[in-house]
Amino acid sequence: MQPRRQPPPAPRSGPGNPRPTAPLLALLLLLAPVVAPAGSRGAEDPGQPQDAEVPRRLLQQAARAALHFFNFRAGSPSALRVLAEVQEGRAWINPKEGCKVDVVFSTERYKPESLLQEGEGHLGKCSARVFFKNQKPRPAINVTCTRLIEKKKRQQEDYLLHKQMKHLEKPLETVSIPDNHGHIDPSLRPIWDLAFLGSSYVMWEMTTQVSHYYLAQLTSVRQWKTNDDTIDFDYTVLLHELSTQEIIPCRIHLVWYPGKPLKVKYHCQELQTPEEASGTEEGSAVPTELSNF
């Protein structure tokens, strides 16, 4: 049996081994690293950073959610953007509260190539902070974009579209855009762009950390006559959820006028909770920030 070892004697204070003073101890404590257990956080701690291990899918998810929100808040079918490429990003994961993502990405104008003028395709960069609250929908978003379409040009295109819609001989009533071959007749492109604009709000509201939606098809459109200058129509869309491959029908009511906040009401089928299944919103009422537009 090995003899039990005695612990080393505690160092004595003295001229050759002075005891640290109280101010020095306090400074050492402030400089010492503090390691928090997983899931804990202080008032300013956003969670555990995941710089090296951020899945590209999460960055793409955040970028798409930010663009849904951006398109809705812009309220302009002439300024619609789609994701071109994620360039960089980082995320903070907190098991109790959710996931915060900072992402930088490039965008393209949402328009057929045949209608684009030279230099119109790529519209520059966007940077966004997206907060997914666990698996709940409607992420909180702050997004800033550069190289926007020139304001005067956007207004001209929007007013031209508005004029075309208001001067129809009879209110529009049609189905299936695009058709079964994926083709969108040029005369119906304004309706598709307006539907995409309104659907952006719905897709933003329904997006979670893992669910991503895109507009697959309009199955019905009905324009209503109005006593003012607004464009008012109901339409039914099929939204495709990518991770589950589900097709979800949504009825959407949209009221639009160039330069005014977009008004959207909707109801979707086959969703889990009433909060996820319906909503109403105006473009100026969302309590998150859109910069540089």
Query: What is the tens place of the pLDDT at every residue in 110-144?
Result: 875 544 455 555 667 899 999 999 889 999 999 99
Are the C-beta atoms of 265 and 251 separated by less than 8 Å?
Answer: no
What domains are there in the chain, each with its CATH number?
56-112+120-268 (3.10.450.10)
For the ranges 77-86, 124-133, 158-167, 210-219, the lowest mean pLDDT is seen at 158-167
Task: Count CB neighbours of 209 within 10 A.
Answer: 21
Output the average pLDDT for the chain.
76
E strand spans, the chain: 48-49, 81-94, 98-109, 122-132, 140-145, 173-174, 213-224, 231-241, 247-256, 263-268, 278-282, 289-291
Per-residue pLDDT at 52 exceeds 50: no
In this prediction, what percent of the chain has a pLDDT beyond 70? 66
pTM: 0.73
